[in-house]
Structure 1
Amino acid sequence: MTHRLFRTAVGSLVLLLASIGMAVASPGATPQTMRLDYLHTGDADAQHYALDRIVIEPLPWAGNPARPIDDSNRGNNKFEVLDAATGELLYSRGFSTVFAEWRTTEEAASVSRGFQESLRFPAPASPVTVRIYERDAANAFVPVWSVDVDPDAQTIQRNTMPSTLKPVAIRDNGPSAQKVDLLILGDGYTEAERDKFIADARRLSDHLFTVSPFKERAADFNVWALMAPTPESGISRPSTGDYHPSTLGARYDIFGSERYVLALDNRALREIAQHAPNEFIEILVNNQTYGGGGIFGQFSTAAADNAFANYLFVHEFSHHFAGLADEYYTSPVAYAPSDAKVEPWEPNVTALHDPAQLKWRHHVRAETPVPTPWPKTEYEARQREFQQTRAQLRADKRPEAEMEALFREELAYTNQLFADAPYKDAVGAFEGANYAATGYYRPQMQCLMFDRSDAYCQVCSDAVAEIIDLYSRTDDE
């Protein structure tokens, strides 16, 4: 058994879970949760790793003991936990980082920065080696850092201070080991707005389970809501001079993109999140301005009060949960994709170097040409107009309702343009994806990873289902 070395939880941890109504296994059956916090620093040309601290979190491990090894091949990085004595692989997961995105920005060419990052895994009973891998120029994983961990070391932080934060069960479908635990955090909510946060969390997570395949797999999820109040409503938006204190470091204008929202205080996020079962984290920000973000295996964000909040929640969660790539390419982004069109690791985009080996070819009908024609020229011409109007609305600081109206007009135009296209519902290879007009292809003409549609394409749906299986099913199911 690959997980035989994992340390079992003690009674005090079981009592903590029982106090929030979570179904738990008998004492001695569940590992503790170990978190390795480290610093990731560097610039466009170099990077460095340094151990910050190792923490035993207050709640037992919420993961699926039957699937300790990640075989999805997702993420810019992956980490492995190996038995130090035998080299046996005990646990692995793919992930991506804010640092990897930042180092492609213009700033990274001249400035060094540091980011806090964390790895979470079942606490081992014997010494282990934790090893981080990164993709090279050919998208193959190569080792970049490792650290030895002795679970009995005196430097490991234990006995976390009790917290007054109590998670609310939005959906409780059973023991965490058999379910995907989604934790919804709030930022920019005051204590007086606690009920609003719970209502927002319930409303948006309920919408998630109207979208296939989440809809069909809703019973495989637990959903928890947790917030630490802020003294003021809303989070900072520096481009408009609007600043607010934040419990998670969430703000707009990440990397200079007015719509990009991330939480940059990883330590604060982990210190709060550790008080609820969690494998995936969605952060709701108490704002109307359109915005969000998602980092695979880390967290996602969405503006709770925007008219497109339902879409934002699902789209950004798709990045975080399943490692799906953006399929759009006409909106400006803050970071630069590589000029080298290597085959992406993301399951829903391709460089199509060999059409006969298209990675989703099992969905392509014999009569569908690859590459697949679509009204690309007309779409791009109208998109240039929309993007100019969008930029002007932001420059003029117009009310958010005007931006929301523009988005509705944009989606209506796209729906009409695609309605009579010959391959509207076909799976093929449609050029234009991954922030590039040429050289990358998406599986279907329309998908919620491409525009503000309300459904996944078939390939994205399959990719989401694979991750649900990883966290909720046994190998023999």
Structure 2
Amino acid sequence: MIRYLSSLLALGACASALAAQPATVRLDYLHSGNALDEHYAMERVVIEPLPWPGNLSQTIDNTNRGNNLVEVVDAKTGKLLYSRGFSTVFAEWRSTEEAARINRGFQESVRFPKPEAPVKVRILKRDERNLFSVVWTADVNPDAMDVIRKQPLAPVKPIGIRVNGPSEDKVDLLIVGDGYTQADMKKFEAAARRLADHLFETSPFKERAKDFNVWAIALPTSESGVSRPSTGVHHASPIGARYDIFGSERYVLTTDNRALRELAQYAPYEFIEILVNNETYGGGGIFGQFSTAAADNDWANYLFVHEFGHHFAGLADEYYTSPVAYATGGERREPWEPNATALHDPANIKWKKFVKEGTPLPTPWPKEAYETASRAYQKERAALRANNRPESEMSALFTRDLKQSTALFSPDPQRHTVGAFEGANYEATGYYRPEMQCIMFDRSEQFCAVCADAITTIIDLYSRPAKQ
């Protein structure tokens, strides 16, 4: 009871602090197409129940991250009022084999502080030059008659997990539960607290913990767990998170954007991590959208932080020996992600400030030995899943794999060097990562220096120092 009251007081204090902030506008739209074509269509404009949670002194995003960029500009003057980089589920889907055969549509949303006059909302996309160009524009009048201004009462109240100050001064992370019954609510809260604690034990989040607020919310469902179609398991869950996205058994996402946004809108948030009530290893992360993690898995700590790295900072996967759902190969363009490079210009590598003079680029590492061990590991991993073995056996395999990799890397003179290590971005050749090991490469416990710096940049974008 005391914890519940303290959560209500924290939320009340936050809402009071936000009273001076403008309203939050959400533009819901449909993004459809196939591998070669895409289209956008406006669905609706919503005024969310809570005021804008963000820092109004930092409304323009100059980080150059994401496959897309949203810009909100004054309709009369053309002045840029707000921008943010992001990526989409659609962009991942269109790189799959299915996208070459059929059309599909995905729900998407962009949110921004309510302007004082009509605006144009522009969606930009990276072109072949890796530059953003406008692909869709929508006229939005936040005072128009068809704007949805009244929302139902909150179906559940958010819980304050960590509340360090007014939302406009902090990064607001919302942990959303899916697949939890009413009887599972205490379990969900405990998982949210445990995993948030681990996040803030990991640098650079550890050093910047006071710059975050963390909230938790879950809408009870009738049965525990989420769907895992490849094993014949199907559950109705409030936001529709499930395994087997795009045919990858470990990939967990929701494609029900409306359900997610209609629940999340009752808490202050800029970032969302979804906890699914399952023990099977799995997760996912989309930059600027959300990330997911299986809360009951033995590797939940790693999953939570790794997937949040994708969602929060746009970090690329640095591993390359695991099968993925997307089509890879082709031209090695310079990735926009801060922790991967095609190394077209070694003298001006994007993380040059971290590279010590004299470091060889590319940087040698025991790649052949690692790949030999990894092939055997992946074969064993596939067999465990194919035979539906207990999750404990998969966890033991992951533990053994990490120990073997660490033993291989430990004596190497380049182990803690920042350089350009070939093998990243799902490709064995042509892409390079900054360090030999990192949370984005394997299941180790630390971010490399480049990833840590990329995370810090986003923290700075969304927070502001406490007033002296």
Q: TM-score, normalised by structure 1?
A: 0.95
Q: Which secondary structure does the structure 1 equivalent of 2:446 belong to?
A: coil
Ranges in structure 2 where 5+ consecutive residues have no aligned partner? 1-7
Could you tell me how far apart the structure 1 residues matched to 2:14 and 2:259 are?
27
| Contact 1:341–1:439 (8 Å) recurs in 2 | yes
Report the AA paired with residue 415 of structure 2.
K
* 1:338 shift after superposition: 5.0
In structure 1, what is the equivalent of residue 455 of structure 2? 464
| Contact 2:23–2:113 (8 Å) recurs in 1 | yes
In structure 2, what is the equivalent of residue 256 of structure 1? 247
Map 1:272-291 to 2 at 5 A: 272-291=263-282
Q: Which secondary structure does the structure 1 equivalent of 2:147 belong to?
A: coil
Map 1:346-365 to 2 at 5 A: 346-365=337-356
Report the AA paired with residue 137 of structure 1.
E
Could you tell me how far apart the structure 2 residues matched to 1:212 and 1:198 are?
23
In structure 2, what is the equivalent of residue 435 of structure 1? 426
In structure 1, what is the equivalent of residue 167 of structure 2? 176
Report the AA paired with residue 55 of structure 1.
V
Could you tell me how far apart the structure 1 residues matched to 2:452 and 2:101 are?
40
- The answer to whether the aligner puts 1:374 opposite 2:365 as a matched pair is yes
In structure 2, what is the equivalent of residue 6 of structure 1? none
In structure 2, what is the equivalent of residue 3 of structure 1? none
- Give the one of 108, 111, 116 matched to 2:102: 111
Q: Percent identity?
A: 66
In structure 2, what is the equivalent of residue 240 of structure 1? 231
- The answer to whether the aligner puts 1:144 opposite 2:144 as a matched pair is no
Count of matched residue pairs: 462
Q: Which secondary structure does the structure 2 equivalent of 1:121 belong to?
A: strand
Could you tell me how far apart the structure 2 residues matched to 1:366 and 1:74 are?
28
Q: Which secondary structure does the structure 1 equivalent of 2:39 belong to?
A: strand
* 1:19 shift after superposition: 8.1
Map 1:213-228 to 2 at 5 A: 213-228=204-219
Could you tell me how far apart the structure 2 residues matched to 1:218 and 1:233 are?
32
| Contact 1:20–1:166 (8 Å) recurs in 2 | no
Q: Which secondary structure does the structure 1 equivalent of 2:364 belong to?
A: coil
| Contact 1:22–1:172 (8 Å) recurs in 2 | no
* 1:22 shift after superposition: 3.2
- The answer to whether the aligner puts 1:415 opposite 2:406 as a matched pair is yes
Task: Write out per-residue CA displacement over residues 170-210 of structure 1, whole angstroms, 9 at most, x where no aligned residue.
Answer: 00100000000000000010000000000000000100000
Could you tell me how far apart the structure 1 residues matched to 2:76 and 2:255 are?
36
Q: Which secondary structure does the structure 2 equivalent of 1:57 belong to?
A: strand
Could you tell me how far apart the structure 2 residues matched to 1:304 and 1:154 are?
42
Could you tell me how far apart the structure 1 residues matched to 2:38 and 2:21 are?
36
Map 1:259-338 to 2 at 5 A: 259-338=250-329
* 1:24 shift after superposition: 4.8
Task: Write out per-residue CA displacement over residues 4-61 of structure 1, whole angstroms, 9 at most, x where no aligned residue.
Answer: xxxxxxxxxxxxx978333356686210000000000000010000000000000000
Q: TM-score, normalised by structure 2?
A: 0.97
Could you tell me how far apart the structure 1 residues matched to 2:321 and 2:24 are?
42
Q: Against the structure 1 CA distance between its residues 91 and 312, is the aligned structure 2 distance closer, same or farther, given a 3 Å change threshold?
A: same
* 1:390 shift after superposition: 0.4
Q: Against the structure 1 CA distance between its residues 340 and 161, is the aligned structure 2 distance closer, same or farther, given a 3 Å change threshold?
A: same
* 1:458 shift after superposition: 0.1
Could you tell me how far apart the structure 1 residues matched to 2:18 and 2:441 are?
47
Report the AA paired with residue 66 of structure 1.
S
In structure 1, what is the equivalent of residue 37 of structure 2? 46
* 1:336 shift after superposition: 1.3
Task: Write out per-residue CA displacement over residues 409-430 of structure 1, whole angstroms, 9 at most, x where no aligned residue.
Answer: 0000000000101100000000
Could you tell me how far apart the structure 1 residues matched to 2:429 and 2:19 are?
55
Stretches (4+) displaced over 2 A? 17-29
